């Protein structure tokens, strides 16, 4: 059985790399994206991850813009689940209305993130 694929969409390089290390240790194949525009291009290019971890405050295309655009795409892109990680309280409320799998406030603990990824979407190996 192939390893789950998780796209980390985060412009903070240190946080993105820490998330990559955490998920690598959990047996996940990780793909990095600096912003929503890059993530959308990956999906349009045929990448089919199990889930995207999405920050909301990013340059070029923020997380809310990404989700709005994602909802306009064909089902294979539109239906890729999102777990939002953000310190922006108003943005977290807005993206909840746009229908995402989970919304977590930054800073998020490794335990909390892994629990959500295991429970919500079977996105981490047991």
- pLDDT value at residue 125: 67
Domain boundaries, the chain: 5-101
Contact 27, 125 (CB under 8 A): yes
Q: What is the CATH number of domain 5-101?
A: 3.40.50.2300
Mean pLDDT of 15-21: 94
pLDDT tens-digit readout, 51-71: 999 999 988 989 999 999 999
pTM of the predicted protein model = 0.91
- pLDDT value at residue 5: 94
- pLDDT value at residue 3: 86
């Amino acid at each position: 059985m192939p390893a789950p694929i998780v796209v980390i969409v985060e412009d903070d390089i240190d946080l993105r790399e820490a998330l990559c290390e955490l998920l690598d240790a959990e047996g996940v194949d990780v793909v990095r994206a600096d912003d929503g525009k890059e993530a959308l291009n990956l999906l349009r290019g045929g990448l089919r991850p199990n889930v995207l971890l999405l920050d909301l405050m990013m340059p070029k295309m923020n997380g809310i813009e990404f989700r709005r655009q994602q909802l306009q795409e064909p089902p294979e892109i539109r239906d890729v689940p999102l777990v939002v990680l953000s310190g922006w309280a108003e943005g977290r409320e807005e993206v909840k209305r746009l229908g995402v799998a989970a919304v977590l406030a930054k800073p998020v603990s490794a335990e909390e993130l892994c629990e959500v990824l295991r429970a919500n979407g079977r996105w981490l190996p047991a």
